[in-house]
Chain A
Amino acid sequence: MITPASAIHTDADARPLLEARGVSKTFWRRTGLFTKSAENRALDDVSLSVASGEIVGLVGESGCGKSTLAKVLLGLEQANGGSLQVKGRAIFSVDAATVPPAQRGIQMIFQDPYGSLNPRMKVGALIGEGLRIQGRLSRSAIKDEVRRHIALVGLSEDSLDKYAHQFSGGQRQRLCIARAIIMKPSLLIADEAASALDVSVQMQILNLLLDLRDRIGLGVIFISHDMGVIEYLCDRIAVMYRGRIVEEGAAEAVLDRPRHPYTAHLISARPRVGVRRHEALASIEEFDPAAIKGGSGDLAHRCVYTERCPRRVERCSRERPELVPDRQTRVACFNPIPD
């Protein structure tokens, strides 16, 4: 499914660094020998753009498709539909060959810095590994690059002769970042990159991402469920729910004047130090996107949030709301929250 070009929002000022249009990814699950396979639309017509030097936050609860989107952009999963451009170059589309993951100019860092570094390799080798495999630089040039990047992430040069287990969690995440940016990506995808870290260390990593953004103009997609971190870091926010982006816009607009009921729910669920809540939270819904049974066939033609939505109207269950500009954000809702 491709969104008509007219519906896609593009920044007038510059060509975006990354532009994903109408990306879809459906997983099929066989439920029985003779029954039809169940369809799970992990990504349903997702369009997202990132400018260089921009940090875009991707929020939503588990199972909403955040990580699937990251994998599709990176090339770890293949999309069923839609297209992707990085710096104007077609990465994949319905009628063109796919650019292999290593050549896309996209790198990723993960939640668990303990699980993503080879314990048998010295840090110097770990960071230079990508360049070595690429084989374009001489050994001494790779060494120089490694030294430059270990400094860039705020670690000393004698770290290079150590092993990953000799570092703390925050330092290991720095190593992962060095390993990613040494490949000179246009875009860095950070999937819950600060969530596994101690609160006192988390801020160091967030600030490092801000520094890199400022110094090398890195574009970042920051995936998180922590609205506080998102608020601190991001220029723009996209809110996902069950495979769709339900609201997207400048961080301040989305946080201060959310239009989609789900965005408002996410914001209200955020704990704040020193702010006690006055009214009770909306009650727990006995519904979990990760645990949907059977197919989601009818979901294609209605709003995905209806079951939980306090603002649903009759139209929501028979028509699909498209993501359209609305005041300061883009929102997919027939009955958005008034200002």
Chain B
Amino acid sequence: MSNSIPDQPAPPGPVLSIEGLSLFVRADDGRRLKIVENASFSIAPGQFFALVGESGSGKTMIARAVMRLVPDAVLEIDGAIRFGAQDLAHASERVLRPLRGSEITMIFQEPMSSLNPLMTVERQLMETVDAHGRFKGDDRRERILELLRRVRFRDPELILKAFPHELSGGMRQRVMIAAALINEPKLLIADEPTTALDVTIQREVLDIIAELARDMGLAVLFISHDLSLVYENADKIAVLYGGVIMEQGPARKIIESPAHPYTAALLACVPHRRLNGSRQVGIEGAVPSVADWGEGCRFVERCGQARAVCRVGPMPLFAKYDHSVRCVAPLNDLGERH
């Protein structure tokens, strides 16, 4: 499709490519804490990439680092965040500003706090369109209506006149998705956008995002704490624990044959029916806080397979095709040590 257009990059190149990303913050006592360590992944056009982790795993900080939403004084970035040919990790505000809201957009957990309660949906969306000037005159309204239709509003004209409080949580989040996609971004970052929604609509909002990613060639970085939720829609999953990507690969492989003991344990935590009064054990202990992370594997205190070597140095990376795991003794053979 794009072959005929000479100034477009070749299709296989990733939209976002993160290489050896480490993030640091300053603790209250002045210590420099590494909250994300050596993370690498890339997202191709049209790909739905889910970054899954528990609280404190660093998933939201990675999302914010990509958008450069946290001031440099607070969050120190090491490594590369490549968006196309640009390295966002060290780009200036002047470079970043036109990208945000246009090339890279973001949706958050609570749609109500992202919408202005005093403005109709039409005015808010119009503002978003005008801020970047891609659509002009009558095209703007057409574009807005088209997006509202794509996020499955049956009567978009009616929605245009509504104020945020007149919409349900799911409808608000769909308005936010429309706003995020209205300027034809290449990358959408979605930080737990369905967590505040009812179960009955969570999955449909996910379906909408996945469908739009496919149709518009949009790369999606989807942040979630719930493996079972993203499983259906994600093309790739990366599992984050204690600031380290423990395992990443195609969604199906991660779920059906997890290679990291943490991924396996996390899957075993999804509650099932108890047959004859049996119990699921879950994972002992609690997620360690940044200050308690040791030298070795971050999961070592809670891991059933832990050995002495797990406590020293960075964990080796094993990879086979596009499935990789950071563990001394992966649960299934991933061949080459890298």
Contacts and interface: CB of A to CB of B under 8 A. Distances in A.
A286 B287 contact: no
A271 B171 contact: no
Given A206-B271, A207-B282, A199 B169 contact: no
B166 A291 contact: yes
Contacts of B286: 168-171, 198, 201
Contacts of A61: 198-200
Interface string B153-165: 1110000000001
> In which size bucket is the chain A interface?
35 or more
B319 interface: no
Nearest to A200: B283
B276 to A, nearest CB: 12
A227 B272 CA distance: 10
A191 to B, nearest CB: 16
A98 to B, nearest CB: 33
Interface string A213-233: 000000000000111110111
Given A201-B287, A228-B272, A284-B204, A269 B199 contact: yes
A273 B231 contact: yes
A160 B198 CA distance: 37
B255 A274 contact: yes
Interface in B257-274: 265-267, 269-274
B256 interface: yes
A62 B198 contact: yes
Contacts of B55: 169, 198
A203 B282 contact: yes
Given A199-B54, A207-B279, A274-B256, A225 B198 contact: yes
Interface of B: 54-55, 152-155, 165-171, 174, 198-204, 207, 225-229, 231-232, 255-256, 265-267, 269-274, 279-284, 286-287, 302
22 contacts: A61-B198, A61-B200, A169-B286, A199-B269, A200-B282, A200-B302, A207-B282, A226-B199, A232-B273, A252-B273, A255-B273, A271-B229, A271-B231, A273-B227, A273-B231, A276-B231, A276-B232, A284-B170, A284-B174, A286-B154, A287-B168, A291-B165
